[in-house]
Amino acid sequence: MSKSRDKIEYLDRNEAEKVGELKEERLKVNRTAKVVKGGRRFAFSSLTIVGNQDGVVGFGFGKAKEIPAAMQKAFKDGRKHLVRVQRKDTSIPHEIEGSFCASSVRLIPAAAGTGIIAGGTVRAVLELAGIKDILTKAYGSTNPINLAKATIDGLSRLRSKEEMADLRGVEL
């Protein structure tokens, strides 16, 4: 039994340029080692969340021999993977679940003043998306990369009442 899912639609280059100033939050910097004849060779990878806190968010992953270069690559990659998020006031229009690999995240709308009830990775994505009131629960793998992608998967599939009515051919 397979799940049919739409692929995440990222903003195209023209839309991404109109977004404005993007803020970034580094979630994880990882060091890897390759053992060679002369010793160990280290490389670094960086996971960065990028957003304008007004309905646009993305994630980037970069690898390099030095930490600053990996962070720079991650930010550049994040600008290429921006997603527009449907919001309702300070929360989301409806409950939804996003998944990626073995991670899944349930996003539940909350009343104004609730705040963001979420773990570190999911919280960073939601803050940079501009969502202020939401409840979340992460299931399965807690790998930060998979959690970030699962959260963005859920956010990208949010629809307003008007959009759903148009898709179904129903008048409100």
In the chain, domain spans: 13-83, 86-168
Q: What is the pLDDT of residues 64-103, one digit of tens each?
A: 999 999 999 999 999 888 998 999 889 999 999 999 999 9
Cα 49 to Cα 34, 36, 119, 161, 168, distances in angstroms: 27, 33, 14, 28, 33
Listed range (73-77, 109-113, 115-119, 167-171) with the worst mean pLDDT = 167-171
CATH number of this structure's domain 13-83, picked from the four choices 3.40.50.720, 3.40.50.300, 3.30.160.20, 3.30.420.40: 3.30.160.20
What's the rounded Cα separation, in Å, for the pair 48 and 15? 20
Q: What is the mean pLDDT of residues 108-123?
A: 93
Listed range (26-40, 64-78, 108-122, 155-169) with the worst mean pLDDT = 155-169
Q: Where are the alpha helices (DSSP H) in the chain?
A: 13-17, 67-80, 120-129, 144-156, 161-168
Q: What is the pLDDT of residues 118-162, one digit of tens each?
A: 998 999 999 999 999 999 999 999 999 999 999 999 999 998 888
> What is the reported pLDDT for 16?
67
Q: What is the assigned CATH class of domain 86-168?
A: alpha beta
What's the rounded Cα separation, in Å, for the pair 77 and 20? 16
What's the rounded Cα separation, in Å, for the pair 93 and 86? 7
> What is the reported pLDDT for 2?
41
> What is the reported pLDDT for 5?
56
- DSSP sequence for 58-82: EEEEEEESSHHHHHHHHHHHHHHTE
